[in-house]
Chain A
């Protein structure tokens, strides 16, 4: 029972971490039809912002606040310089952002070196759950993820910005005809998505080894979650991440992490093939 509870906590932890990354991706994909392959590197930049702030003598919490701002700014620049020129060439957005991801990753190597850094956990305490100690910081991560989900849903379903954004998702040309400034919306969306990636990176930094390769490890599960869950609906990544993260944690506990990855990826490919609109598309018709 106790083991089952810890397993559930671990799974929820992984699922919420994927959602943190996938949320930004699905917003950018849904609104702009851009597959952002550089998202993993925006995550990376978030983690390195914390490393840099700590190196300059700031606290972890300052880094956590600065990371989404800094990475959001990077997103704004990237959108202006690169992404906006390839909107109309769908497959080329994948390539252009992929090239960006290589460049950003390498820029990090140039600036910080290829070795890994550690960020010490700002909340060292652990909490007793059913008699077993569980790191309190992991609970903090889960709280942040839930907060991000809540804010994003509020933003998209309760504000004027969200209404306009959903209008553009449904029919871009019609929304533009009705006077919605799609250009400004695109810019804001990309920056928001990037900021979420930066926040995710900063939040995850203390429990990962911060190195230039850390982005890819999250990018692929996040992409698969979106496709499995359904890219057309904001709830898609929630379902997808639950399927991917849950299966992964379970398989890793039953067998090994390697088997888990193979099982999860294979399962994802089959689900994507059978339900191209994702689980959310199937259930919500969205």
Chain B
């Protein structure tokens, strides 16, 4: 199976990429043209879902490719969101005069990444935490983080931070604010697409192959001489940075940062999006988030309390029957060459 999938990865160069390229063109093309056919409110809504999609991609990287089942990914999303809010609201001591969006984004990426790096150094090295232990520890961290956010008056406590300004083009703030839904939409889409290309390149590279090798069999990868803890650490750090960026984009659109952003519930929601979308392809995870949020938006009013019941059962069904995820399965059927397994979207073990 392992040999088969790595062979498949090389065989991919022949036919499969062209079909995957078509799928990509169709998806991103449709997203680029979507504002033409949608009202302003729907465009704004979709732009917000993009930030969730970006968040989902960050989890797909560390879970789908590296096998780190993280139940606390929202901690990084939340730190990013709060960092962006504090900087652009001018609440950071010494930086009151420069509520710059650029600086905010920078902090929103570096702070979660730095935190994840420290946490990873503690958790992965030495005896190291495996599978379920990692899941439960991250779950506990998410609960603690939410508790801290609720009880920390500086970041607004239970009420959170309100009136977070939108993206601002001025270098030190004070320039043009991007309010309208269409510019916000394209700005978000461009950033998400850039990160998507980065993650695509990364998961196709040699680095990505090693990550999947660690996911499939950590011990064996270690015996081959790879520094497995180091690989996990970089992936975890990078994933946290991407989640932080998603959090920053989210608060500029939502204009509001509150403790649920950092907590346990959002952490589990993103798991559901990624599991339903597909954990092994960034595109599938991204679409999974958008799909679940959109369907929720439409159905939650008609179905009421039954919606969450249906989502829970669908989630169980998808985990048991479609480990590639619903969208991942569709993409797999569309793009897989007939003769065998393809490396990146191979069935997760």
A106 touches B312 (CB 8 A): yes
A92 touches B131 (CB 8 A): no
B143 touches A99 (CB 8 A): no
Q: A94-B132, A102-B311, A262-B147 are in contact. Are A268 and B320 (CB under 8 A)?
A: no
B139 touches A269 (CB 8 A): no
A103 touches B133 (CB 8 A): no
- What are 15 A-B contacts with C-beta separation under 8 Å? A90-B131, A91-B69, A95-B69, A95-B319, A99-B315, A101-B312, A106-B308, A107-B309, A109-B308, A223-B136, A269-B140, A269-B141, A272-B129, A272-B133, A273-B127
- Which residues of B are found within 8 Å of A95, using beta-carbon distances? 69, 271, 275, 315, 319
Interface of chain A, helix or strand or loop or mixed? helix
A269 touches B349 (CB 8 A): no
Whole-angstrom CA separation of A220 from B268 in the bound complex: 14
Q: Which 6 A-B residue pairs are closest in the complex by CB-CB distance?
A: A103-B312, A102-B312, A99-B315, A99-B316, A106-B309, A106-B308
Classify chain B's interface size. 35 or more
B144 within 8 A of A: yes
A96 within 8 A of B: yes
Q: Given A35, A82, A100, A109, which contacts B305 in the complex, CB threshold below 8 Å?
A: A109
B3 within 8 A of A: no
Q: Given A85, A98, A223, A224, which contacts B320 in the complex, CB threshold below 8 Å?
A: A85
Whole-angstrom CA separation of A110 from B135 in the bound complex: 29
A180 within 8 A of B: no
For window 287-343 of chain B, which residues contact chain A by CB distance below 8 Å?
A: 305-306, 308-309, 311-313, 315-316, 319-320, 323
B67 within 8 A of A: yes
Q: A227-B136, A269-B137, A273-B123 are in contact. Are A86 and B144 (CB under 8 A)?
A: no
Q: How far is the CB of B334 from chain A (nearest CB, A)?
A: 24
Q: Given B123, B132, B143, B349, which contacts A220 in the complex, CB threshold below 8 Å?
A: B143
Whole-angstrom CA separation of A273 from B127 in the bound complex: 8
Q: Given A85, A86, A103, A276, which contacts B313 in the complex, CB threshold below 8 Å?
A: A103
Whole-angstrom CA separation of A276 from B123 in the bound complex: 11
- Which residues of B are found within 8 Å of A224, using beta-carbon distances? 136, 140
Of chain A, the residue at the smallest CB distance from B318 is A99
State the total of A-B contacts with C-beta under 8 angstroms.
109
A134 within 8 A of B: no
Q: How far is the CB of A226 from chain B (nearest CB, A)?
A: 9
Known: A91-B69, A95-B275, A258-B151. 18 other contacts (CB 8 A): A91-B132, A91-B135, A95-B315, A96-B320, A98-B268, A99-B312, A99-B315, A102-B312, A114-B305, A258-B147, A261-B143, A265-B141, A265-B143, A266-B144, A268-B140, A272-B133, A273-B123, A276-B133
- Which residues of A are found within 8 Å of B316, using beta-carbon distances? 82, 96, 99-100, 103
- Which residues of B are found within 8 Å of A114, using beta-carbon distances? 305
A262 touches B320 (CB 8 A): no
B129 touches A102 (CB 8 A): no
A184 within 8 A of B: no
- Which residues of B are found within 8 Å of A90, using beta-carbon distances? 131-132
Whole-angstrom CA separation of A272 from B126 in the bound complex: 12
Q: How far is the CB of B248 from chain A (nearest CB, A)?
A: 26
Whole-angstrom CA separation of A262 from B306 in the bound complex: 34
Of chain A, the residue at the smallest CB distance from B140 is A265
Whole-angstrom CA separation of A224 from B129 in the bound complex: 14
B122 within 8 A of A: yes
Whole-angstrom CA separation of A100 from B136 in the bound complex: 17
Q: Which of A90, A103, A276 gathers the greatest number of chain B CB atoms within 10 Å?
A: A103
A94 touches B69 (CB 8 A): yes
Of chain A, the residue at the smallest CB distance from B321 is A85
- Which residues of A are found within 8 Å of B275, using beta-carbon distances? 95
A55 within 8 A of B: no
Q: A90-B132, A103-B316, A106-B309 are in contact. Are A98 and B271 (CB under 8 A)?
A: yes
- Which residues of B are found within 8 Å of A99, using beta-carbon distances? 272, 312-313, 315-316, 319
Whole-angstrom CA separation of A11 from B133 in the bound complex: 26
B12 within 8 A of A: no
B148 within 8 A of A: yes
Of chain B, the residue at the smallest CB distance from A97 is B316
For window 65-113 of chain A, which residues contact chain B by CB distance below 8 Å?
A: 82, 85-86, 89-92, 94-96, 98-107, 109-110
- Which residues of A are found within 8 Å of B147, using beta-carbon distances? 258, 261-262
B308 touches A94 (CB 8 A): no
Q: Which of B126, B129, B315, B320 gathers the greatest number of chain A CB atoms within 10 Å?
A: B320
Whole-angstrom CA separation of A269 from B323 in the bound complex: 29
Q: Which of A95, A100, A101 gathers the greatest number of chain B CB atoms within 10 Å?
A: A95
- Which residues of A are found within 8 Å of B132, using beta-carbon distances? 35, 90-91, 94
A86 touches B140 (CB 8 A): no
Q: How far is the CB of A137 from chain B (nearest CB, A)?
A: 29
For window 239-274 of chain B, which residues contact chain A by CB distance below 8 Å?
A: 268, 271-272
A220 touches B140 (CB 8 A): yes
Q: How far is the CB of A5 from chain B (nearest CB, A)?
A: 30
Whole-angstrom CA separation of A102 from B128 in the bound complex: 30
Whole-angstrom CA separation of A82 from B321 in the bound complex: 10
B139 touches A273 (CB 8 A): no
Q: Which of B139, B315, B316 gathers the greatest number of chain A CB atoms within 10 Å?
A: B316
